[in-house]
Structures are given as C-alpha cells and as structure tokens.
Structure 1
Amino acid sequence: MQNISSEAASSQFNTGYTQELKRTLTMKDLVIFGLITMLPIAPTQVYAAAAINSFGMAALVYLVGIVAMIFTAISYRKMSEEFPVAGSSYSFVQRGMNPHIGFLAGWTIVMDYLVVPGLLISFSNLWLGAILPDMPRLIIIVVFAAIITVINVRGITLTKWANNVFLICQLALIAAFLICAVKFVFIDGHGIGGFSLDPFFQSGKVDLQLIATAASIAVLGFIGFDSISTLSEETVNPRKTVGRSVVLSLLLIGLLFMGQAYMASLAHPDFSTLDPDMGYFDIIREVGGDLLYYSFIGVGILAVGIANALAVQSAISRIIFTMSRDKMLPFSGFLAKVHPTYQTPANATLFIGIVSVLIAIFVSLDNLVMLVNFGAMTTYMLLNLSVVTHFFFKKKLRGLKHTLSYLLSPLIGFGVIAFIWSGFDAKTYIVGFTWLAVGAILGFVKSKGYKEVPPALHNL
C-alpha cells in the first residue's frame, strides 16, 4: 500500500479510517468537479418548467436557489474542515449529530445520487431523440453508462481530464448564448426589447408557495455542490481546500444560472408558450439560430450524459463505499473493496453503473426529478442541523462570532431549504418518506436495534 503523507496520517487519526484512496486533487480540480456536477448549462433541463411555475420570474427562482444553497454550502465548509473524510452528509451528520441519524442522512442522499446518473442519461436520451429520432433508446443508455463507469473505475485523474474538457465546451456555449441574447434584445429590439426587472419581480404575482414550488424545480441544477466533499480522501490538504471549493463553485454556478435565466426571460417573455422539456433550447434557436441550437444540444447530450453523470457517479460511488466500509449496507464486503491498481472504489462504481441503466430504462423523468429533489433537500436540512448540534451544543462554541457562524447561519440555511422542501407535491412526500422508512428498518437491523455504531466512530 502507498505511503501515507503526514497530512493524510493526521486525517486518518481524526476520522478513524485507514487512508486507501489516492490523493491527487487540488482546489482547482475540486471547483471544476463541483461546476461539472452542477452543470453550467443546467437551465436547459428545467428553465422552462421553472419559468412557467413562477409566471416568468425564473431569475428570481434561481436567486432563491443561490440564497438557499449558500448557507448550506457554508455548513458543508465547516463540517469538511472538522471531518475531512469521504461520505459527504453521511459522514458529517454521523459525526456531528448522531451515528444513527447519520445513517438516515446517508440513506437519503443515496436515494438522491443513486438516481441522478440515470436521470442525466435520460435527459441526454430525450435531447438526442430531437436530432436522431430513430436511434434505439437502449443502446444510448448502455453506451453512456458504460463510458462513465469505465472512466470512474480507472481513476479520478482520468475523470479530472474529462471534466476540464467538458467545462470549457459548456462555458464557450454559454458565452455564445449570452452574446446572441444581448444582441437579440438590446440591439435588435426583440423579446422584451430592453432592460427589465420582470424576471426578478412582478408586482402582484409573487406568492411564497408559488416561488417554493418553482424553486423546488430550479434547485435541481444546484444539487451536487456537496459532492465535492465526497472527494476529501483524494484531496491534498482537504481541511483547507474542500470547504472553500464548495462555496466558490456554488457562487460561480449561481451567477451562471441567473445570467442565463435573466437573458432567456428577456428574449422570450411569454413563458406560457414554452415547451416544458425543450423550451430553453427553443429560446436558444430563437436568438442564435440553428447552429447554436444544435451545438447546445450536441454538447448538452455529452455534457449531461457523460461529464455530469461521470461526476455524480464518482460522488455516489464514494458514499456507497464509505457506508459499506462502516458495514451499514447489504453486501458491504463487496461494495467496500478498493481496486488494487487504480485505488478507486471500483465495486461500488460498477454497482452504480448497473443501477443507472435500470433506472434510465424503467423510471420516468418526472419521478426521477421528484426523488432527487426530496433526497437532496432532506439531507441538506440534516446537515445544517448537524452544524448546530456539533459546534454550538457539543463543543459549546457560543461567543458572538460563534453564535453567528454555528447557530444563526445554519438555521437560516435550514429555514430556506425547508421553505423549498414545502413546495413538493404529495407524491414526492409519499415516495420520500417510504424510502426513509425502509432506511430506518435497515438501520435498525444493521445497528442491532440502534445500539451499535461503526468501528471508526468508537474513539471519536
């Protein structure tokens, strides 16, 4: 086994795990990973639905999303500095609040990330159908799943290279769209014809429940910023790097989302005519013509179905790996295996690849979005509460500065996320709480009646 650096050894002492994964990632790598996971062109997926549900105030919806996520991102930063270990919310809630609640947080985020690769492949399949309607759906799904699984098994370095390429392509397309939209609106006088605050606020139309419902759709694009923390055990100096990368990547992606939503709203103010699935692409074609339209679809297919799915699969495989080495999942012995050559959680990655194919084939897009949002929002609320529990109550850090950092900030994050959480429909709650109930039963069995905790937590 490789020699463990002094920084890695310190991390081992604090987390209770032996260092098995290879440390190669820098802050730049993590920010790029976060951007790719959240997907700079994510408005292509949900902009139209968000605009329709908010009476055209899509920019306001994304602004609410930024506010909601920034406080939660700060909470992730605090916990990643305290516990630089793979596992994201599972590890943080487990250590900050309670091992058994931590398991439920992990189980919930598994629901989130387990279905995301299949969701992304389904989006790519939908868009590819717009230009190649005769392409067999099953072939697309299997090929995309195979590509991302092989790259992830080979190692995080290859994943990092792929992320860089796809990020550059997406940023170039966004720049082209914004330039075309500015010309379309401000020079040619089309769309709304000039500057307007309508995408942010329209008097008499702002309703809290309406914004909550629309925001619950738009936050799909923000889900994934926490995936950076799943790479803690593959990061050089994770205590310093991981948390900063989480916050920075979220701020950057938020500005990209809001800029695209604002210009799309100015270019096509009549939200009632938007197609819920392809509406954003229709706006792209309206302002930039067929070349930009097909370029967006082409890059979107590859960026979502490969780059974005690649990053998400990398994150969930590490969560599955972490929960399995704690022996908290069925087949933990198999899923916790690390590849002897590539030093990656190969078995967990292969498992996610197979599940992604099945999900993309048998589960509808609407149901996938529903599961992802419930899992993410519920996990984020628990994460914010774990900051309060660990720092304010357990460590008793209660001065003015600490009260602001460890009580007020995470409670604001919790409150805004709970507001968005309230916008889900009844079916989402039924499926979500059913998943939680299954997790509660599994946790009860694995912990022998909630009496045992993972060995790594015995001395913490």
Structure 2
Amino acid sequence: MTTAKPGAAQPGASDSGEETLGSFGYAQELKRSLSLTDLVVYGLVFMVPIAPFTIFGVVFNGSKGMVALTYLIGLVAMLFTALSYREMSRAFPIAGSVYAYAGRGINDKVGFLAGWAILLDYLLIPTLLYVMSAAALTSLVPAVPQWAWVIVFVLVNTVVNFLGIESTARLNRLFLFGELVVLALFVGFGLAAVARGENGARFTLDPLLKPELLTPGLIFGALSIAVLSFLGFDGISTLSEEVRGGGRRLVGRATILALCLVAGLFVVQTYVAALLVPGRESFPDGDATNSAFYDIAWIAGGGWLKVTVAVAAALATGIANSLVAQAATSRLLFSMARDRKLPRFLAHVHPTRRTPERAILFVAAISLVLGLFFTGQIDLLSSLVNFGALFSFLMLHVAVFVHFRLRNRSTRWHLHILAPALGFLIIGSVLVNADTRAKIGGLAWLAVGAVVLVFYTRSGRGADLKLED
C-alpha cells in the first residue's frame, strides 16, 4: 500500500477523521469518541500520578535526597521526546505510535523494527504491573496467593477493554480521581506534619537542591532514573484513530499536557515526603528502601494513611495502569496486523463495539501466561520493558529528522533538528548505561524481530509504508 504525501500536511489541512485515514489508505474502523480530556486522563493514568509511592526510596538514594529535582530533570529530558511525538502525531494521525511514525517517516522496515522494539515494552508492561501489584497486595492479604491476584487483574481489565474505548475512558476518570484523592490526603497530612515538626521536619529547599552534593555524576544518575519514571505518555499516540474529529492536533497537545501535569504531581509529593525525613541522604538497602514512602506516610498520618497509600499504589498499577497499557498494546498490534506485519487475525475489529477484540484477548492471554511465569521477578521485567521503550524512542527522533528536515526541508530547526538531536542523545545515554540484562534481552528480542522482518520481506507480505517522493 503506497500512500500519497499526507505526512507533509501543514496546520490548516482537513482534520476529518475519515478523510485523514483515507489519505493513508485506511478505512475508519475504530470508534471516534475521545476528547482532549480523555486523552490527558489516559496519559496520566498510564504514567500513574502516584508512581513515586513505589519507587521513592530508590530515587531518594540515587539523588541523595534531591528527589523533587530528579523529577524536574526528568521532565526537561522527556520534553524533547514528547515534542517528537507531537510533531509525528500531527504528520501521521494514525494508530500504531512509533511503529507508524518510523514506518512513514523513514521506511517500513525501520518502522517494523521500531514497532517490534516497543512491543517488548507494551507486551511486558501489563505483566510487570500485575506482578508488582500482586506482590503488594499479598503482603497486605497473605492468605491470597500472588497468582490469584494476577488472574483477577487480567480478567477485570480484559472485560473493560473488550466493552469499548468509552468504558475504558470512564473507568480511567474514576481511577484518576481516586489517585488524586489519596495524593491530596498524603500532601495535606504531610504538610501539616512538617508544620508540627514531626520527625524533626522543617520547610526547606533541600529536596529541590543541595548545592554541596550536586555533581555531574549525580545529575546523570538522576536523569537515568527520572526518564524511566515517565514512560507511558507515549501510549496516548496509540489512540489517534479514536479521537473525535480526526485529532491531528489533540494527540500531540495531550501528550505534552499530560507529561507536564504528572511531573508537577511527582515534584509536589516527593518534595513533601523528603521534608519528613530531614538530614537523610539514603535509606538502607532492602525493605527499608522499598517501603520508604509508606513509612513516611505513617509519620505524616499514622497507620491508616500508610495502608491507604499502599493499597492505592497496588490498585493504581494492577488495574488502572495495566488497563490503559492493555489498550495501548492492543492498538499497536492492530496497526501492525492491519499492515500485514503481524498475523492478520489481530486486525479484526468488533462490528458493534468497534474495538480490536482479538488483539485485546491476545494481550490478555500473553499477560496471564507471563504474569504467572514471572511472579516475583520484578527487576528482570522492568529492565526488559525499559529497553523496548528507549530503543523505540531513538527511532522516533531519527524519524522526525528524516521526515521533516531531509524529506520536507523544514526550516523549523528547533523542532525538527535541535529537539530530536537532544532527545536522541539523552535517550541514547540512558540506554547505553542500562542494566546489562536489559541490553542482552533487548538485543535478543531485536534479533528475533530482524528474522521475522526477513521472513515477511521475502514472502512479499506487508504494506509498503514509504511515502512517495
């Protein structure tokens, strides 16, 4: 399938959903019902506004207590990638995320490898979230084994996603509201505890900056941690074909907005938490680090707040976060299968609910099998997820430069040369310094993808996504 040059469309071009997809050679199959608010909520839930609850101790140790600064650095770093997503979502407002962007922006073979890489991220994210939440809830309810929680999470999320994107959007709003309520409780009680001087706390700028401890090495270490904390905002782009009116601009706008909003929430909660452990630069390894935020919640409001925070964190990852992750993964599979880059049956859309039902069920089956197999292996899953996302981000930045600068001779150097270049350098540095297991597993996954690509190329299957010159 060869398309005309829709990717070069400039602001002011028609934004009709069906016209947009038609110009790329696709029919409108998914249901267009999402608004800007729905997209922002989706992105926030994907990134989890209370994510620092679970990793606060690790980030605190890596930044010597400057946790809030770490998230500000992460925001600046990830803005370059978010800008690249915005530019490509405007040029190519179709499902598939970085698979579609690299495929249309560079060529279909690079697009396949980018899509294959982010599949490692998207296929394993629900599994990772199920395993993390199961471990947390089992610690609170020891009578229920971890595998039972995994099954419950998979069933709940699959049913909601199967009912349609509107059901997913409604539940997203409910979960976001719940997370924000818990977050407000922590911040409110935390500030009150600081005002009372609990645990020797006092108001200070130390969580934002300790000049005597700030070094290039610390900044780089904090950058690596912070970049990974924001993974998930990219999932908004997978919903491009379900936005009302075509959404050529809404997806990019939502991506930037969700990233900035969640960064603000990260900074506020970690700033308050760090104030309640004055004089510290680290927590002891092991349980003390893993439960650091929950112990701080106990200082702020007592045992009830500690339990509330712990349960909220478990449900936010096990249901809310994994719900949107499953939705994003199914749309990526749908997009690649539609182009015959994956088995065609995954591109089937339910005639009434207009959801990629087979892709949803496939993701559920994979998550269930892997969730039961990888129970207790959170570190390994995390490292593999990170590799897939980071590699695909590299391809995204290259696609921006190739499509806008080399192909269309763009003179907007700040968006199409400088931003992707800085984004590439930042993501590349994090990837090079990633966990060794992540690099080994990720490269093995890419090798398998290369073999699959050769098979599809030699068998003559797949769509030609290259733009006409």
1:244 is aligned to 253
1:235 is aligned to 243
2:267 is the alignment partner of 1:258: yes
Q: Distance in 2 between matches of 1:357 and 1:20?
A: 28
Q: Distance in 1 between matches of 2:383 and 2:78?
A: 18
Match of 2:413, as an amino acid?
T
309, 315, 319: which one aligns with 2:322: 309
Provide TM-score, normalisation by structure 2.
0.91
Q: Distance in 2 between matches of 1:416 and 1:6?
A: 33
Decide whether the 8 Å contact of 2:108 with 2:464 is kept in 1: no
Aligned length: 449
Q: Distance in 2 between matches of 1:186 and 1:377?
A: 41
Match of 1:408, as an amino acid?
L
User: Superposition pairs for residues 286-325 of structure 1, below 5 Å?
Assistant: 286-325=299-338
Decide whether the 8 Å contact of 2:101 with 2:399 is kept in 1: yes
Q: Distance in 2 between matches of 1:434 and 1:287?
A: 46
Q: Distance in 1 between matches of 2:228 and 2:313?
A: 16
2:69 is the alignment partner of 1:60: yes
Q: Distance in 1 between matches of 2:414 and 2:307?
A: 48
Q: Distance in 2 between matches of 1:200 and 1:375?
A: 32
Deviation at residue 459 of structure 1 after TM alignment: 6.1
Deviation at residue 187 of structure 1 after TM alignment: 3.3
1:445 is aligned to 455
2:360 is the alignment partner of 1:359: no
User: Superposition pairs for residues 39-438 of structure 1, below 5 Å?
Assistant: 39-188=48-197, 190-208=199-217, 210-236=218-244, 237-269=246-278, 270=280, 271-273=282-284, 275-329=288-342, 332-363=343-374, 364-398=377-411, 402-438=412-448
Q: Distance in 1 between matches of 2:156 and 2:265?
A: 28
Match of 1:125, as an amino acid?
A
Q: 1:458 to 1:247 in 2, by over 3 A?
A: closer
Match of 1:305, as an amino acid?
G
Q: Distance in 2 between matches of 1:455 and 1:121?
A: 37
Decide whether the 8 Å contact of 1:36 with 1:307 is kept in 2: yes
1:11 is aligned to 20
Q: Distance in 2 between matches of 1:124 and 1:387?
A: 36
CA offsets 1:136-193 (integer angstroms, 9 cap, x no match): 2221110110110111011001001100111011111111111122122233253442
Q: Distance in 2 between matches of 1:255 and 1:407?
A: 28
Q: 1:325 to 1:20 in 2, by over 3 A?
A: same
Deviation at residue 130 of structure 1 after TM alignment: 2.4
CA offsets 1:97-116 (integer angstroms, 9 cap, x no match): 22111111101110001111
Q: Distance in 2 between matches of 1:188 and 1:316?
A: 46
2:42 is aligned to 33
Q: Distance in 2 between matches of 1:18 and 1:191?
A: 63
Structure 1 residue runs of 5 or longer lacking an equivalent are none
Q: Distance in 2 between matches of 1:202 and 1:367?
A: 35
Deviation at residue 6 of structure 1 after TM alignment: 8.0
Deviation at residue 384 of structure 1 after TM alignment: 1.3
CA offsets 1:28-50 (integer angstroms, 9 cap, x no match): 11000000011101112222112
Match of 1:340, as an amino acid?
P
2:7 is aligned to none
Q: Distance in 2 between matches of 1:280 and 1:189?
A: 15
Deviation at residue 326 of structure 1 after TM alignment: 1.1
**Corresponding residue SS for 1:160:** helix
CA offsets 1:283-309 (integer angstroms, 9 cap, x no match): 112212112111122222222111111
Q: Distance in 1 between matches of 2:209 and 2:394?
A: 26
Instruction: Tell me whether 6-15 or 339-348 shows the greater mean CA deviation.
Output: 6-15
2:463 is aligned to 454
Structure 2 residue runs of 5 or longer lacking an equivalent are 1-13
Decide whether the 8 Å contact of 1:33 with 1:311 is kept in 2: yes
Q: Distance in 2 between matches of 1:115 and 1:245?
A: 24
Instruction: Tell me whether 235-244 or 6-15 shows the greater mean CA deviation.
Output: 6-15
Deviation at residue 457 of structure 1 after TM alignment: 4.9
CA offsets 1:63-108 (integer angstroms, 9 cap, x no match): 2211121111111111111100000011011111221111111011
**Corresponding residue SS for 2:41:** helix
Cα RMSD, aligned residues only: 2.0
Q: 1:201 to 1:448 in 2, by over 3 A?
A: farther
Match of 1:312, as an amino acid?
A
Decide whether the 8 Å contact of 1:381 with 1:414 is kept in 2: yes
Q: Distance in 2 between matches of 1:392 and 1:457?
A: 16
Q: Distance in 2 between matches of 1:201 and 1:405?
A: 33
Q: Distance in 2 between matches of 1:213 and 1:149?
A: 37
Decide whether the 8 Å contact of 1:14 with 1:83 is kept in 2: no
Deviation at residue 204 of structure 1 after TM alignment: 4.0
Decide whether the 8 Å contact of 1:16 with 1:459 is kept in 2: no
Decide whether the 8 Å contact of 2:122 with 2:385 is kept in 1: yes
**Corresponding residue SS for 2:144:** coil
Deviation at residue 445 of structure 1 after TM alignment: 1.2
Identity of aligned residues (%): 39
